Chains A and B, each alone.
Chain A
C-alpha cells in the first residue's frame, strides 16, 4: 500500500517542454496558420474597403465642404452655372418622400405581418411570405418602370376625384401632373413593404406562447391578445424593421428618380414634382463639369451615407435582441 513509484526509462519530461508551442514554420506547414492569415486578410479587406470609401467621400467633397460649410444643407439655390450649390430641396424631398412612404407602408405592412403571423395557417403564411420575399428581389429600376407606366397613369386618373374632397388641404393642393413627391412615396412604400412584412412577421412569430396564453386565460379576444400583448412584446424588432425600411427608402435611387419629376424646388404640396439626394446624384453626376460641381454632388453622397449609416446602426441596435434570418432575403 501507500505510494507507488513507477519508473520508466527514457522519459523526456523537462517541464518547459510540457506546453511547448509549435514553431511558426511547423504551424504554417500544417496549414492552420496560413488559412487563418488568409481568411483574416479576407475579413480585413472589408474594413479596408469601407475605410477607403469613407476617405474618398470625405476627400472628394473637400472643395464643396470648404466653400459652403453647413450652409450647403440649408440653402435652396442649386445653380451649377454660377457655382452655387444649396442642397435643401434634395434634403427636403428625400425626407418627405421617405417619411410619407413609411406612413403608407407601416400600417399596411404591420397589418399584413399580424395576419401572417397570428391568423393565417402556417402553410398559407409561409407561401405568402415566400412570395413577398421573392418580390423584395425585384430591382428598383423595374419598380421605376412600373411607376412610370402603371402607377402614374392610375394616380393621374384618380387624383382629380381625390382632390375634389381634399384639395383644400395645402399638402394636396395644386395640379397633379403625375410626377410628384406623392408618386415617389407610393412607389417607395411598395418597395419597402416586403421588408417590414417579412421581418415583423418573424419577430411576431418569435413571441413566446406563454405571453399569449397568459392574456387568453384572462378572457381576451384574439385581437386584444395580439394588439395588447404580442405587438408590444415585439415592439423593438418591429421598430428595427421600420428603421431598416427607412434607411432603404432614403438611399433608394432609380425608382424615385423615374417618378419624382426631378425639379429642384421645395413645395408644400405633395402633388408637386421634387427631387431627392439620390436622384440628383444619379441624374447629374456624369454631367458634372468642374471640380466644385463634382465635389458638391459627392458631398451629397457623403450626407446620404452618413444618414443611412446612423439609421442602420439604430436598426441594428434595436434588432440585437432579435435573431432574424436575413439570409432568407
Chain B
C-alpha cells in the first residue's frame, strides 16, 4: 500500500493545529472561569452578609452595625414600575409600527434612531434627564429616575417587539385578513397573540437590563437615607446603594453592598431565566 493514501499534513502543521485548538479551548476556559468566579464570589459574599433586617430596616447611621436597605428595594421597584410604564408602551407601539405599518424612509428613520438611542451611554442618558426633568423641577425625584430608565428601556422593547412580530408567518396574517378581519383586528387578535411569549420575554429581559443601571440614577433619583413617599422625592435604589456603600470606608457598609449586589443579581438572573423559560414555552406551544 502506498503511503500517499494516508498523507497526513507535515508535523509542523499538525503541531500548530493542536496547539492553536488547545489555546482556543483555554480561552473558553478562561472566560467561563473568570465569569463563574465572579458569580460565585458574589453569591458567597452576598449570602454571608444577608440578614432578614436587610430587607425590613432603613440604613443604620454610620458606625452602627445592622440596618437594611428597605428604602432602596422599594425605590428600585418603584423606579422599575415607572420605567416599564413609560418604556414598554412606546416600545410596543413603535415595534408594531415598524413591523406592521412603516415602510420607506419613515421606518428607516425610526429604526435607525432606535439603534442610536440604544447606543447612548447610560451616563449621558442621566445628563439628558437631569436637564429635561431635574433642572425644571429643581430637585431630584423618583419621577426623574423612572423617566431615565424608561427611555433606556424603549430601544430594546421596540426592537424585540418588532423582531418577534416579524417572525409571525405571513400566512397567519393572510388567514385573518381572508376572514374579513381588518388589518388592525388581524394585528391584535392574531399577530400579537402569536408573538406574545416572545414579546414578554423581550420586555422581561429589558427590565432586567435597566434594573442594574446606576449611572443614570445618580443625577436623577439621586439617593435617600429614608423612605421616599410619593414620586417627587429623591429615592434610594439598589444599584446606587451598592455604589455608595462599596466606595465608603466602612466595613459594615461593604457587607451591605455585597448583600445588595446579591439581591440585585439574583433578581436579575431569576428574571432572565424566567424570561427564557417563557420563550421556550411559547415555542413549544406554537409547535404543538
Q: Which residues of A contact B (CB under 8 A)?
A: 30-32, 34-36, 38-47, 49-50, 52-53, 56-57, 59-60, 107-112, 114-116, 118-120, 128, 131-132, 134-135, 137-146, 148-150, 190, 193-194, 197, 219-224, 227, 247, 250-254, 258, 278, 281-282, 285-286, 297-298, 301, 304-305, 308-309, 312-313, 316, 326-327, 329
Known: A111-B26, A223-B20. A43 touches B272 (CB 8 A): no
Q: Which residues of B contact A (CB under 8 A)?
A: 7, 9, 13-14, 16-17, 20-21, 23-28, 30-32, 34-39, 41-42, 45, 89-94, 96-98, 100-102, 106, 109-110, 113-117, 119-128, 130-132, 151, 154-155, 158-160, 163-164, 182-185, 187, 198, 201-202, 205, 208-209, 211-215, 218-219, 222, 239, 242-243, 246-247, 254, 257-258, 261, 264-265, 268-269, 272-273
Instruction: Tell me how far the C-beta of A178 lies from the nearest C-beta in chain B, rounded to whole angstroms.
Output: 13
18 of the cross-chain contacts (CB-CB < 8 Å) are A35-B183, A40-B106, A44-B110, A47-B109, A115-B25, A115-B28, A119-B24, A137-B212, A139-B213, A139-B268, A145-B257, A149-B45, A253-B122, A254-B215, A281-B123, A312-B116, A327-B164, A327-B198
Q: Are A327 and B159 in contact, CB atoms less than 8 angstroms apart?
A: yes
The complex places the Cα of A201 from the Cα of B96 at a distance, in Å, of: 30
Residues in A neighbouring B122, C-beta threshold 8 A: 251, 253
The complex places the Cα of A281 from the Cα of B184 at a distance, in Å, of: 46
Q: Are A119 and B242 in contact, CB atoms less than 8 angstroms apart?
A: no
Instruction: Tell me how far the C-beta of B245 lies from the nearest C-beta in chain A, rounded to whole angstroms.
Output: 9
Q: Are B269 and A134 in contact, CB atoms less than 8 angstroms apart?
A: yes
Residues in B neighbouring A193, C-beta threshold 8 A: 31
Q: Are B123 and A112 in contact, CB atoms less than 8 angstroms apart?
A: no
Q: A219-B9, A221-B16, A326-B159 are in contact. List 8 more A-B contacts (CB 8 A).
A: A31-B182, A42-B97, A43-B158, A132-B35, A135-B35, A190-B34, A254-B215, A282-B218
Residues in B neighbouring A116, C-beta threshold 8 A: 28
Q: Are A111 and B35 in contact, CB atoms less than 8 angstroms apart?
A: no
The complex places the Cα of A114 from the Cα of B26 at a distance, in Å, of: 11
Q: Are A30 and B243 in contact, CB atoms less than 8 angstroms apart?
A: no
The complex places the Cα of A26 from the Cα of B88 at a distance, in Å, of: 30
Q: Are A327 and B160 in contact, CB atoms less than 8 angstroms apart?
A: yes
Residues in A neighbouring B198, C-beta threshold 8 A: 327
Known: A30-B182, A135-B35, A137-B268. A43 touches B102 (CB 8 A): yes
Residues in B neighbouring A38, C-beta threshold 8 A: 93
Which residue of A is nearest B246, CB measured?
A: A145
Known: A119-B25, A135-B39, A247-B119. A286 touches B218 (CB 8 A): yes
Which residue of B is nearest A48, CB measured?
A: B113
Known: A146-B42, A258-B243, A282-B215. A45 touches B90 (CB 8 A): yes
Q: Are B113 and A47 in contact, CB atoms less than 8 angstroms apart?
A: yes
Q: Are A304 and B124 in contact, CB atoms less than 8 angstroms apart?
A: yes
Instruction: Tell me how far the C-beta of B103 lies from the nearest C-beta in chain A, rounded to whole angstroms.
Output: 11
The complex places the Cα of A118 from the Cα of B219 at a distance, in Å, of: 46
Instruction: Tell me how far the C-beta of A177 lies from the nearest C-beta in chain B, rounded to whole angstroms.
Output: 15
Most buried by A among B37, B42, B116, B185: B116
The complex places the Cα of A114 from the Cα of B7 at a distance, in Å, of: 26
The complex places the Cα of A297 from the Cα of B131 at a distance, in Å, of: 12
The complex places the Cα of A265 from the Cα of B35 at a distance, in Å, of: 32
Q: Which 4 A-B pairs have the closest CB atoms?
A: A139-B212, A42-B93, A251-B121, A111-B27
Instruction: Tell me how far the C-beta of B269 lies from the nearest C-beta in chain A, rounded to whole angstroms.
Output: 7
Q: Are B121 and A308 in contact, CB atoms less than 8 angstroms apart?
A: yes
The complex places the Cα of A8 from the Cα of B119 at a distance, in Å, of: 65
The complex places the Cα of A203 from the Cα of B259 at a distance, in Å, of: 38
Residues in A neighbouring B214, C-beta threshold 8 A: 139-141, 253-254
Most buried by B among A36, A42, A115: A42
Residues in A neighbouring B159, C-beta threshold 8 A: 326-327
Instruction: Tell me how far the C-beta of B159 lies from the nearest C-beta in chain A, rounded to whole angstroms.
Output: 7
The complex places the Cα of A140 from the Cα of B89 at a distance, in Å, of: 27
Residues in B neighbouring A309, C-beta threshold 8 A: 116, 119-120
Q: Are A140 and B212 in contact, CB atoms less than 8 angstroms apart?
A: yes
B239 CB contact (under 8 Å) in A35, A141, A222, A278 = A141
Most buried by A among B14, B28, B106, B158: B28
Q: Are A111 and B28 in contact, CB atoms less than 8 angstroms apart?
A: yes
Q: Are B184 and A144 in contact, CB atoms less than 8 angstroms apart?
A: no
Residues in B neighbouring A285, C-beta threshold 8 A: 126-127, 130, 218-219
